[in-house]
């Protein structure tokens, strides 16, 4: 098909892998589906769907409380998934993996529990200018309460974070640097190892929003030395409504609970209540048991995949898509950092992103349009939003060709 199909891609059989994802094998609006909205959510392999079905068909029970066999089975699978995730991100201990509802809840948990305890009047929280709203608003909420400020680390016109500016912003009043590992709107991979080092050298903690990184490359939380790392299961081929907060043990130990309820307590009386140990202190109420077990299956699925090959394949998809974009009249890429994951954010001259998205959908091509919950960076670029095609390892070069064929038709119609 082209040069790229011969390099990197050759070692990874995306056509075979996509057979594991039943949803991809369908027609949408009379055309074979091309799913290019993976930054919003990834599709689920059969193994994940089956694990959830099996749980409900054979093991459904509440966890940690049972005095019967089903509860034991459910608890065993639930905790096994925690171990799998701990190993996947190389956390030192499984109790450093807290189940949340998603990235958003993970950040809210830290902002609320750690933030309310440690942030004081005059303190500063730094976030990058390209953050998702989930990594801005929770900090603004707590900052408003305690009299702290939330400030943006500048991003240049290519969508690259300005580390010199970060260096000049850091002072003893900065208590937290909260930064995305990968931008969902632009695809930029931020040099988080460096950012974490800079934050620590200045006496600040560092939270990394890994929502967009975790599906594209290996994450080692100990090597990164981040204080907190958050991500969502649904962006890593697992179920929706589930996420992970990793934290350093001493910090998690010192943090008060985020929500009260069952499971998070040790003893309750009207004279006073004591809290459970980690990770349960942060897991009030019945958790998303089916989701956790499904997520365990997603991790197993990923572990047997050729992940190096998958990464090379995704990079080849991005390179090919960027080449096609450059050859296509009227396409302007938004986010051209030297270090990117497989996100192609762009504008089509003379059109509104939403109209283009609708015409692509009519041709069976699913992309996302809008501000991608990253309004500040869209404002900086002076645009209301972009058209975003985001790739996963099950996408193929012919998916990219279909995108550009559909774009050409949309352009004919709109311009
Ligand atoms: N951060 C980033 C970078 C994201 O891309 C997303 C999801 N688009 C989120 C946070 C929020 O994730 P969730 O909706 O799963 O909580």
C-alpha 374/C-alpha 349 separation (Å) is: 21
Residue ranges per structural domain of the chain? 14-43+306-410, 49-303
Contact 388, 348 (CB under 8 A): no
pLDDT tens digits, residue range 319-368? 999 999 999 999 999 999 999 999 999 999 999 999 999 999 999 999 99
Give the mean pLDDT of 70-81: 97
Quick check: 4 pLDDT over 70? no
Give the mean pLDDT of 152-161: 98
pLDDT tens digits, residue range 126-143? 999 999 999 999 999 999
Contact 75, 234 (CB under 8 A): no
Residue-by-residue DSSP string for 310-332 = HHHHHHHHHHHHHHHHHHSTTEE
Output the ligand 1 site: residues, CB below 6 A.
Answer: 102-104, 132, 134-135, 180, 184, 209, 211-212, 232, 373
Mutate-to-test residue for ligand 1 from 232, 340, 376, highest number of ligand atoms within 8 A of CB = 232
Query: Can you tell me which residue has the tokens 């009249």?
Result: 329
Kindly indicate the confidence band of residue 66, based on its pLDDT and cuts at 50, 70 and 90. confident
DSSP 113: I
pLDDT tens digits, residue range 222-281? 999 999 999 999 999 999 999 999 999 999 999 999 999 998 999 999 999 999 999 999
Quick check: 7 pLDDT over 90? no
CA of 30 to the centre of ligand 1 (A): 31
Contact 244, 230 (CB under 8 A): yes
SS3 169: helix
- Biggest alpha carbon distance in the chain? 73
Which residues are 345's β-sheet partners? 388
Q: Active-site residue 373, yes or no?
A: yes
Q: Which token pair is 202? A: 């200045």
**Catalytic, out of 179, 206, 226, 373:** 373
Residue with CA closest to ligand 1 atom 6: 211
CA of 178 to the centre of ligand 1 (A): 14
Quick check: 40 pLDDT over 90? yes
C-alpha closest to that of 170 among 153, 155, 190, 156:
153
Of 3.40.50.150, 3.10.50.40, 3.90.1150.10, 3.30.420.40, the CATH number of 14-43+306-410 is 3.90.1150.10
CA of 274 to the centre of ligand 1 (A): 33
C-alpha 296/C-alpha 290 separation (Å) is: 10
Give the mean pLDDT of 376-400: 97
Quick check: 1 pLDDT over 90? no
**pLDDT for res 211:** 98
Query: Can you tell me which residue has the tokens 């390892």?
Result: 393
Q: What is the mean pLDDT of the chain?
A: 96
Mutate-to-test residue for ligand 1 from 128, 211, 219, 245, highest number of ligand atoms within 8 A of CB = 211
By CB neighbour count within 10 A (0-12 exposed, 13-18 middle, 19+ buried), where does 383 fall? middle
- Number of other CB atoms surrounding residue 334 within 10 Å: 22
Quick check: 70 pLDDT over 80? yes
**pLDDT for res 256:** 97
Q: Does the fold of domain 49-303 match that of domain 14-43+306-410? A: no
CATH of domain 49-303: 3.40.640.10
Quick check: 81 pLDDT over 90? yes
Kindly indicate the confidence band of residue 3, based on its pLDDT and cuts at 50, 70 and 90. very low
Atom from ligand 1 closest to the CA of residue 373: 8
pLDDT tens digits, residue range 195-204? 999 999 999 9
Contact 236, 42 (CB under 8 A): yes
Quick check: 5 pLDDT over 50? no
C-alpha 29/C-alpha 103 separation (Å) is: 32
Mutate-to-test residue for ligand 1 from 130, 184, 377, highest number of ligand atoms within 8 A of CB = 184
Render the burial of 272-284: b for 16+ CB within 10 Å, e for the rest: eeebbebbbbbbb
């Amino acid at each position: 098909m082209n040069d790229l199909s011969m390099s990197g891609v050759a070692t990874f059989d995306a056509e075979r892998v996509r057979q594991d994802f039943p949803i991809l094998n369908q027609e949408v609006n009379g055309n074979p589906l091309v799913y290019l909205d993976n930054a919003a959510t990834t599709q689920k392999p059969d193994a994940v769907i089956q694990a959830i079905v099996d749980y409900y068909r054979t093991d459904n029970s509440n966890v940690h409380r049972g005095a019967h066999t089903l509860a034991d089975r459910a608890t065993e699978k639930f905790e096994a998934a925690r171990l799998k995730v701990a190993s996947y991100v190389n956390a030192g201990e499984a109790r450093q993996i807290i189940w949340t509802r998603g990235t958003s809840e993970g950040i809210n948990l830290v902002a609320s529990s750690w933030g309310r305890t440690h942030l004081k009047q005059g303190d500063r929280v730094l976030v990058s200018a390209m953050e998702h709203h989930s990594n801005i608003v929770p900090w603004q909420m707590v900052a408003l309460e305690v009299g702290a400020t939330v400030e943006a680390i500048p991003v240049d016109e290519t969508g690259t974070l300005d580390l010199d500016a970060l260096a000049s912003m850091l002072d003893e009043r900065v208590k937290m640097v909260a930064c995305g590992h990968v931008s969902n709107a632009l695809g930029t991979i931020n040099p988080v190892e460096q950012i974490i080092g800079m934050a620590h050298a200045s006496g600040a903690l560092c939270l990394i929003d890994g929502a967009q990184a975790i599906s594209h490359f290996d994450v080692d939380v100990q090597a990164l030395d981040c204080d907190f790392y958050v991500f969502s299961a649904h962006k890593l081929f697992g179920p929706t409504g589930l996420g992970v907060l990793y934290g350093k043990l001493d910090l998690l130990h010192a943090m008060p609970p985020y929500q009260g309820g069952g499971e998070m307590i040790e003893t309750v009386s009207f004279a006073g209540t004591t809290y459970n140990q980690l990770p349960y202190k942060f897991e009030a109420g019945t958790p998303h048991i089916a989701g956790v077990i499904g997520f365990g299956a997603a991790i197993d699925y990923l572990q047997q995949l050729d992940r190096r090959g998958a990464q090379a394949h995704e990079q080849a998809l991005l390179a090919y898509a960027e080449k096609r974009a450059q050859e296509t009249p009227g396409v302007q890429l938004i986010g051209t950092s030297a270090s990117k994951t497989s996100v192609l954010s762009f504008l089509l001259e003379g059109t509104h992103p939403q109209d283009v998205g609708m015409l692509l959908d009519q041709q069976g091509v699913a992309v996302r349009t809008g501000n991608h919950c990253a309004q500040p960076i869209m404002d900086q670029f002076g645009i209301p939003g972009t058209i975003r095609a985001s790739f996963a390892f099950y996408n193929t070069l012919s998916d990219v060709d279909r995108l550009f064929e559909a774009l050409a038709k949309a352009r004919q119609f709109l311009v």
